[in-house]
Structure 1
Amino acid sequence: MDEDSLVGNQDYDDAAPREPTTSASTRRLLLKLGCSFFLFGLINNVLYVVILSAALDLVPPSTPKGIIAFCNIFPALVAKVGWPYVLKGRIRYTRRLNGCCAISIAGMINDRSDAKVVALFDSLLMRLLGICLASFSSGLGELTFLQLSTRYHPSSVAGHAVGYFASGTGAAGLVGALLWWLVRGLGVRTGVGMSSVLPLLIPLSYYFILPRPEVFAALALPSIDEEDHLDNEATASYTPLPTTDDDSPVMPKGPVALSPSDKWHLVKPLLLNVILTHATVCVYLFEYTINQGVAPTLVYPVPPPEKYWILSKIVQSIRDYYPLWQLVYQTTVFLSRSSISLGLPPLPSRLLSLPAILQAVILFIVVIESAVGIFGDDSEALSFSLVFLLISLEGFCGGLAYVNVFYRINQEHPHVPHGDLERARQEREFKIGSIGFADSTGILLASIVAVPTELGLCRAQVARGKKFCKSL
C-alpha cells in the first residue's frame, strides 16, 4: 500500500516572489510551526488523558482500573507497530489526519453510550469499544505528527517542531486531567460528549496554521550537515505539490519504497540504543504501573477544614485523591516535556537511562507506602507530602524520557547515496515512527501488571484495617 506525501492542501504559487528573509518573518514562521505542532500534540493526546483521568467514573467500583489502561493503549500499539512496518512508500498526511479525526470522534461518541435500558455489562462493553477507537486514533496520530516533523529542514526547524509537539502532548496531560476535574460533576455522558468535539481542531490547525516545509527553504537558517544542504537545494527548486491526495507530483525517478530488509537494517540499532540501552520500555512500565496500579490505592481520610484549610478545599471526598494525583503527574509531565521548546539543552546520551532508574526507585517507595504506610496511618500529612513529591518526580522523569528520545531520533540523518532525497526522507520518517511502539509497549505491560497490583495493595490495606480502597 503506497502513501503519497502531502502537507496541507492549500495551493502554492511557485512563480510568486518569496518572502524576504528577515528575522521577523523567520520568527513568524517558526511561531506558526510551533503553534501547529503544539496543537497537534495537545489535541491528539487530550482524549487519551481524559479517559485515564475518568477511569474511576467509567467503570464500576468492582472493575480494576487497569482494564481502562489496557483498552486505552493496546489499539494505539497496534497502530504504531502496523503503519511504519507494514505500509511502504510516501505518506498521505492529509488522509491520515482526517481519518484520525473521524475515528476519534466516533470513539468518544460511542463512549457516551449509557442508555438506561442497557444492562451494566453491555454499557461497559460499549464504553471499552469507544475507548479502543479513540486509542487507535491517538496512536496513529502521534506516529503521523512525529513523522511529519522530519519533513522540515534544516535540523533546527525539525527539532523546533518535535520539541513543540512533545510540549503539546505534555499540555494534553494537564488539560485533560484538569478538564475532567471540572466537568466530571456533569456525569460521564455529558462530560465525555463535550470532549468529543476537540479532535476537529486538528484539521483546522493543519489546513490554516501549519506552514508548508517548502517555505523554510527561503530562510537564512543554518544547515547542520550535508543532508540538510541537499534538502534545502531540493525545496528551493521543488516540483509543485498537488492539491489532492490522489495526484502524485512528477518525480525524476521511479517510486521509492523501503523494503522489509531496509527497515530491519534501520531499526536494529534503535532497538539496542533507544529501547534497550535507554530503557524506554521500562520508563513507561514503571510510570504507568504507578498511575494505574498504585495511585488508585493512595487514598487517605478526607482532611478536616479546621486542620488542613487549603487541602480540604481540594480533597472533599476520598474519590478526589486519584484525579488529584493525575493532575499533579500531568503538570510535571508538561513541564519536563516542554524543556526543549523552552530552550533547555537535551539530556546527554549517557544520561538517557537515568529516568528509568529513578522510576524504578519511585515505584518501590510508593508500593511500600500503599501496602504498609511508611509513616503509619496516623500521619496522613506526612504520607500525603511524600506521595505528592514522588508523583511529581515521576512526571518529570517520564516527560524527560519522551522528549529527549524523540528529539535525538529527529536530529539523526540517514546515510544514503548523494542526491537520493526521497529515500532519505522515507528513512527519517520510518526511524522516528519505528520507536513509537516502545512507550506503548511499556504502557501495555503496565496495564497488565496494574490489575493484580491494585487488587493486591487493596487487600494489604484492608488487612491492616484501612478500607478506603473498597469504597472507590
Structure 2
Amino acid sequence: MQLEPAHLVYAAFWTFGLVNNVLYVVILTAAVDLVGPQTPKAVVLLADVLPSFLIKLAAPFFIHKIPYNRRITLLVGLSTVGMMSVSLASPLFLKLVGVVLASFSSGLGEVTFLQLTHFYDTRALNGWSSGTGGAGLVGSGLFMLLTTVLGVSVKTSLLVFAFFPLAFLGVYFYLLPPRDYNRVPGAFPVHSNDPETGIETQPITWEFVASGYETTMVRLKPLVMPYMLPLFLVYFSEYTINQGVAPTLLFPMEELPFSKFRDVYVTYGTLYQLGVFISRSSAPFVRIRRIMIPSVLQFANLVFCIAQSMSPILPNVWLVFILIFYEGLLGGAAYVNTFLLITEQADLAEREFALGSVGMSDSAGIVLAGLVSLWLEPGLCNYQVNDGRGWCTLE
C-alpha cells in the first residue's frame, strides 16, 4: 500500500520533529544523572540551549545561503558525535562538549525544518509540531523506561539515542516528496542555480552579512510583539519551572511511589513532555489565536510552583504531577499556535523568513531561564534545608 504524497509529507515532518528534539529532551531528562544532585541542573540546560540559541540568532542573516542537503548532513554529524561524547566520556567537561554539539544540531535543525515547511501545505507544520511533542514523550519516556523500570545504565541508555539522527538521511532523501509535488502559491520556485535550495547561492562573506543586517532587523521588528514576546514568556516560565523549581518539588520518601528521589525528577519531565505532545498535536482540533493567554497562565504557574517549593500548598506528589502535566499543555499549545498563526498571517514572501526567525525567541527564554535557575534552584534548596526538608540534596 503506497501512501499519498500528503501523508508522506506529514510522516516526514513528524519524524523530523521527533528526531531533532529527542536528544535535547533526553539530555535535560538525564541532567540529574550527568551532574549529580549538588550541581544546579541549569548547567546542563545552558549547555543544551545556548548554542542552539546562538544558531537561531545568527541564522536569519545567512542560513538561506546554505543548501538544505548540506544542512541535513551537518545535523547528523553534530548530533551523533555529540551524543557519543555525552554517553561515553567520563569527565564532565567532555560530556558538556557533547551537549554543546547536540545543541548546535538542534538549533540548526529547527531553523531548517521550519523553513522547509514553507514549501508544503499546513500538514508539514502540523507534522513538525506533533513530532516535536512526540520527541518529548519518546525521549523522557524511553529514558525513564530504560533507567527506572528496566535498570539499564545511564551510559548505555544515552548511547542508544546516538543512532536516532541517522533517520534524517533516510527520511529527507527517500521519504519526503519533492518540494514541487504540490507547490504552495507564492512559495519560492525551484529554478535557480542551486536546485537543492531553490535560492541562489553566493559566498558568505563578512560584507554580505553586514550589508544584510539592517534589512534583517527591519524584517524582524513586526514579528516581536505578536509572536516572539509570547513565545519568549512561555518558554522562560516553563523552563524555569523544569530546571530551577521542579528539582525541589519533593516529598518524604515514604510518601513517594519511588525508591530514589531522582525518579521524581525524571517523572516530572515525562509528564511535562506528555502534556507538550498532546497540545502540540491538537492544532487540527483546537486553535488558540490569542497566544498571550497561555503565556500569562504559564508565568502564573511558575509563581505557584515557587510558592509550592517554599511552603507546600499541594499535599502530595500526585497533585504536583497534574500541575506539571498542565504546564506541558500550556507550553505545547503556545508553540504550535504561534507558528500556525505565522503561516496564516505572514505575507508569503516573508513566511519562510518568519518561520525560521521566530524560533530564536523560545531559545532566548530558555537561556534566561537557565541563568535564573543557576541561582533559583540552590536558593530554594537551601531554604528547604533550613526548613528541615533536605530531600533536594539526596539522590
TM-score w.r.t. structure 2 length? 0.90
Q: Deviations over 1:300-346 (max 9, x none)?
A: 12346xxxxxx73xx23222110011111000000001112xx2142
In the alignment, residue 459 of structure 1 is paired with which amino acid?
A: N
In the alignment, residue 431 of structure 1 is paired with which amino acid?
A: A
Contact 2:10/2:127, CA 8 A, preserved across alignment:
yes
Contact 1:59/1:65, CA 8 A, preserved across alignment:
yes
Partner of 1:347: 288
User: Which residue of 92, 113, 120 maps to 2:67?
Assistant: 92
Rounded to whole Å, the distance in 1 between the matches of 2:63 and 2:113 is 17
User: Which residue of 43, 62, 65 maps to 2:38?
Assistant: 62
2:282 is equivalent to residue 282 of structure 1: no
Partner of 2:133: 170
In the alignment, residue 182 of structure 1 is paired with which amino acid?
A: L
Rounded to whole Å, the distance in 2 between the matches of 1:391 and 1:437 is 24
Structure 2 CA distance for partners of 1:200 and 1:459, relative to 1, 3 Å:
same
Contact 1:110/1:129, CA 8 A, preserved across alignment:
yes
Partner of 1:161: 124
Partner of 1:118: none
Q: Which piece of structure 1 moves more, 404-413 or 390-399?
A: 404-413
Q: CA deviation at 1:409?
A: 1.4
User: How do 1:91-110 and structure 2 match up within 5 A?
Assistant: 91-110=66-85
Q: CA deviation at 1:438?
A: 0.2
Q: Which has the greater radius of gyration?
A: 1
Rounded to whole Å, the distance in 2 between the matches of 1:247 and 1:339 is 33
2:340 is equivalent to residue 372 of structure 1: no
Structure 2 CA distance for partners of 1:346 and 1:90, relative to 1, 3 Å:
farther
Rounded to whole Å, the distance in 2 between the matches of 1:246 and 1:281 is 31
Q: CA deviation at 1:400?
A: 0.6
2:233 is equivalent to residue 270 of structure 1: no
Count of residue pairs brought into register by the alignment: 385
Partner of 1:299: 250
Contact 1:114/1:189, CA 8 A, preserved across alignment:
no
Partner of 2:269: 326
Rounded to whole Å, the distance in 2 between the matches of 1:102 and 1:163 is 27
Contact 1:413/1:428, CA 8 A, preserved across alignment:
yes
2:383 is equivalent to residue 460 of structure 1: yes
Partner of 1:379: none
Q: CA deviation at 1:437?
A: 0.8
Q: CA deviation at 1:61?
A: 2.7
Partner of 2:329: 396
Secondary structure class of the residue paired with 2:252: coil
Partner of 2:117: 149
Structure 2 CA distance for partners of 1:360 and 1:245, relative to 1, 3 Å:
closer
Partner of 2:281: 338
Partner of 1:224: none
Partner of 2:17: 41
Structure 2 CA distance for partners of 1:391 and 1:466, relative to 1, 3 Å:
same
Could you say which structure has the higher helix fraction? 2
Contact 1:72/1:135, CA 8 A, preserved across alignment:
yes
Structure 2 CA distance for partners of 1:230 and 1:107, relative to 1, 3 Å:
closer
User: How do 1:18-29 and structure 2 match up within 5 A?
Assistant: 28-29=4-5
In the alignment, residue 361 of structure 2 is paired with which amino acid?
A: A
In the alignment, residue 69 of structure 2 is paired with which amino acid?
A: T
Secondary structure class of the residue paired with 1:165: helix
Secondary structure class of the residue paired with 2:39: coil
Structure 2 CA distance for partners of 1:352 and 1:339, relative to 1, 3 Å:
same
Structure 2 CA distance for partners of 1:247 and 1:455, relative to 1, 3 Å:
closer
Q: CA deviation at 1:60?
A: 2.8
Rounded to whole Å, the distance in 1 between the matches of 2:54 and 2:301 is 29
Contact 1:372/1:460, CA 8 A, preserved across alignment:
no
Gaps of 5+ in 2: 202-207
Structure 2 CA distance for partners of 1:438 and 1:52, relative to 1, 3 Å:
same
Rounded to whole Å, the distance in 2 between the matches of 1:372 and 1:412 is 44
Contact 1:113/1:126, CA 8 A, preserved across alignment:
no
Rounded to whole Å, the distance in 2 between the matches of 1:239 and 1:133 is 34
Partner of 2:180: 214
Secondary structure class of the residue paired with 2:250: coil
Rounded to whole Å, the distance in 1 between the matches of 2:394 and 2:81 is 33
Q: CA deviation at 1:75?
A: 0.3
Secondary structure class of the residue paired with 1:214: coil
Structure 2 CA distance for partners of 1:175 and 1:88, relative to 1, 3 Å:
closer
Rounded to whole Å, the distance in 2 between the matches of 1:214 and 1:202 is 20
Q: CA deviation at 1:241?
A: 8.6
Rounded to whole Å, the distance in 2 between the matches of 1:411 and 1:106 is 38
Rounded to whole Å, the distance in 2 between the matches of 1:83 and 1:361 is 32
Rounded to whole Å, the distance in 1 between the matches of 2:132 and 2:294 is 18
Secondary structure class of the residue paired with 2:180: helix
Rounded to whole Å, the distance in 1 between the matches of 2:252 and 2:174 is 50
Q: CA deviation at 1:272?
A: 2.4
Gaps of 5+ in 1: 1-23, 116-122, 218-227, 250-255, 305-310, 376-381, 416-423
Contact 2:65/2:200, CA 8 A, preserved across alignment:
no
Q: Deviations over 1:109-166 (max 9, x none)?
A: 1112445xxxxxxx011111110000010010011000000022xxxx1x21111101
Partner of 2:260: 317
TM-score w.r.t. structure 1 length? 0.76
In the alignment, residue 95 of structure 1 is paired with which amino acid?
A: R
Contact 2:137/2:277, CA 8 A, preserved across alignment:
yes
